[in-house]
Structures are given as C-alpha cells and as structure tokens.
Structure 1
Amino acid sequence: MPIDSIELSSKDFEIDDLSRKLSPLGKMEAHNLIISVKKEYVLTGLYGLRKRFKTIALHVDEPKAFKEKMELALEK
C-alpha cells in the first residue's frame, strides 16, 4: 500500500466518501494519527461492510514512535 503521508494530528477530521475513521466507537473516540494513501483502497469493517478510502484516521498508543518506524520502513 503506497503511503502518501503520515500526520500526527488530533484536529477535527471530516469524514467523506474517501475518508474513514478506524474506530469501533466512531466519532466518540479521538484519533491522533492520519494516514493518506496514494490510491483508493477498500476497508472491510464489522459485519463485512466495505468502504472505500484514501485517508484514514486512527489512534495509536505511541504516535511519534509509530510515525518514525513507518517512515523508516517506507524508505526501504
């Protein structure tokens, strides 16, 4: 999956046709990371629901370390 950008952010996130929030609680759970990919992919969620995305917001425990490791892995 070619990643376009990884952003540390807890700003408001507009969910549209190609933007998703990866959380079972939806808007009730805050995110701290936004990942944008270069092309459209399909996310399969609970009950087999399939949704297209190019941008996804999620929460990780150590966002700075996650971003650094992802960027190192992408350089290889």
Structure 2
Amino acid sequence: MMVVGIVAVCVVIAVLAFLLPRLSRHPQNGAQRSLGVGSRAGSKAPGPLGRLLSKPFRSGSRAVGRSGSAGRRMRGRLPF
C-alpha cells in the first residue's frame, strides 16, 4: 500500500516538475519532509528494527527527489 502511494507521488511530482519546474519545488519539499518525519519516527525503534522501519521512508524520500529532478532535467532538454 505504501509503495503504491510513493509511486503515485513520484509520478505527480515528475509531471509537475516537467510542466511547471519552479512551482514543483514546494510540493516536492513537502513530500520529502513528510517522509522524513516517518523515517525519524521509525528509526526510534531499538536496534535493527529501527533501521527496518525507517528504510521505506528513506528510500521513498530519495525517489521523490529523483523524480522531481528528472522531470526538471527533461524539461531542460527540450529543444524549444
């Protein structure tokens, strides 16, 4: 369920970054901030369980950042 949500957010951020590169920064930062809160909350569990619980949030935040930058990069490569 969480994977589907992160994929949906990544697609929306990438499309927004392609269409409106400057205006896509705020939603991207908001998504990364909320995933960071989840990562910090998961990492408070003791030992290996903390790393296991925070990993999906860390990788989701990284995916959101990459999709936003990929959308802006593709917009910059347009010939017009």
Normalised-by-shorter TM-score class: under 0.3
Larger radius of gyration: 2
Taking structure 1 as the reference length, what is the TM-score of the superposition? Answer: 0.25
Taking structure 2 as the reference length, what is the TM-score of the superposition? Answer: 0.24
